[in-house]
Amino acid sequence: MTRPPVYMDNHATTRVDPRVVEAMLPFFDSEFGNAASRTHMFGWRAEEAVTRARTRMARLIGADPKEIVFTSGATESNNLAIFGAFEALRSKGDHVVTGATEHNAVLDPVARLRTRGARVTVLPVDGHGRVDPDDLRRAITGGTVLVSLMFANNEVGTLHPLAEIGRICKERGVLFHSDAAQAAGKVPLDVQAIGVDLLSMSAHKVYGPKGVGALYVRRKNPRVILEPILFGGGHERGLRSGTLNVPGIVGFGAALEIAGSEMPEESRRVRALRDRLHEGIVKNLDDVVLNGHPVERLPNNLNLSFAGVEGEALMMALDGVAVSSGSACTSAKKEPSHVLRAMGRSDDQAVTSIRFGLGRFNTGDEVDQVAERVVGAVRRLRSISPMYEAARGGARISTR
């Protein structure tokens, strides 16, 4: 009997929650107005729906609704934060600090800033993928205008010590941006507690629709000024021109409200499933290494390296199980993960990794099935792998 497919790639994207779909549907037909149309009820009702979503979102992260700017997703939010802050502050300095394990939606814009005259410092991480706050403290200079460090890593799930990072940035008067695409709705997030000035989010990572995101922009202590990167109409208080995606925004607001109310129980349940999957694999296989922090990690993330087995080969052997070997945005590039390399893994170790992203709709039966299939596939691949034989023959297998 053919087994049904199992989806465990929830870091790449999530299924839209049926409750979110239900909230969105009216805004495709009966409530189809443009939120910028101020002269009739269709526009008014669309604007009211956007305002409700903005308020829901702000409540979840401890912000004021006026501090939420809607975008097309976290990539646009990151670009607006990075380019917008740098251009607005370049008269005060030209130095930007980021981390080696950031998503390319941060690393690429920061690299692009170099062509505009920016000086860039890329902080290293430890073997668990965490930035050392002391390294950040030493990196900040009188010319530093922006620090951009992610909330949670998209490959290994590691959480940076953001509250301490935020305190350092505040002490030095430097803007702090964080890409929270993976964290929002999964772990508690309070922009006041962590002292972040700019925060990027994406709906499709939290059981909402694709194509909509948001950027939190602090309005006081300090008031953050950004130079827009899109022009034409002055929407979103001039920070992001373009007709608002009302159905998507409504869905994003609904998704975050659900996540906020269900987070404690959902995190506990998903973490238990993740640990069950991990245990089901490691009790039946040797030479399996956990990538990422063992504790300070997203509750749904499990990134494992299987000595002697290339991740690509293992994914093919797991036909019908949706997992990945790293970021979905770079999966077409057949290169070892820059995240794992930054954590000190060799190229040979980095290419043996698989990322399991568990989620709201996974079950215990699916976890047990995936563990069984992983164990069987790894055993088969190792039996024909000269790479594994070489490792067993004396090459040290890192467990750092």
Where do we find the tokens 């300070």?
296
Helix (H, G, I), strand (E, B) or coil at 304: strand
Residues 50 and 251: beta-carbon distance below 8 Å: no
Residue 331 predicted with pLDDT over 70: no
Helix (H, G, I), strand (E, B) or coil at 200: strand
CA dihedral 206, 210, 212, 218 (to 10 degrees): 30
Structure confidence at residue 400 (pLDDT): 38
Of 100, 315, 329, 395, the catalytic one is: 329
Structure confidence at residue 36 (pLDDT): 81
- Read off the pLDDT band of 179 (50, 70, 90): very high
Residue 135 predicted with pLDDT over 60: yes
Q: Residues 12-32: pLDDT tens digits?
A: 999 999 999 999 999 999 989
Residue 183 predicted with pLDDT over 60: yes
The CB density around residue 107, as the number of other CB atoms within 10 Å, is: 19
Residues 189 and 180: beta-carbon distance below 8 Å: yes
Candidates 332, 392, 158, 360; CA nearest to 258 is: 360
C-alpha distances in Å from residue 183, one per residue of 120, 160, 314: 25, 11, 27
d(Cα 317, Cα 160) in Å, to the nearest integer?
A: 34
Q: Residues 341-366: pLDDT tens digits?
A: 999 998 988 999 999 999 999 999 99
Identify the structural domains of the chain with CATH numbers, from first to last: 6-13+263-392 (3.90.1150.10), 18-258 (3.40.640.10)
- Longest CA–CA separation in the chain, Å: 76
Residue 198 predicted with pLDDT over 90: yes
169 is catalytic: no
E strands, the chain, are: 6-7, 68-71, 95-99, 119-123, 144-148, 175-179, 198-202, 213-217, 288-291, 301-306, 321-322, 353-357
Residue 399 predicted with pLDDT over 50: no
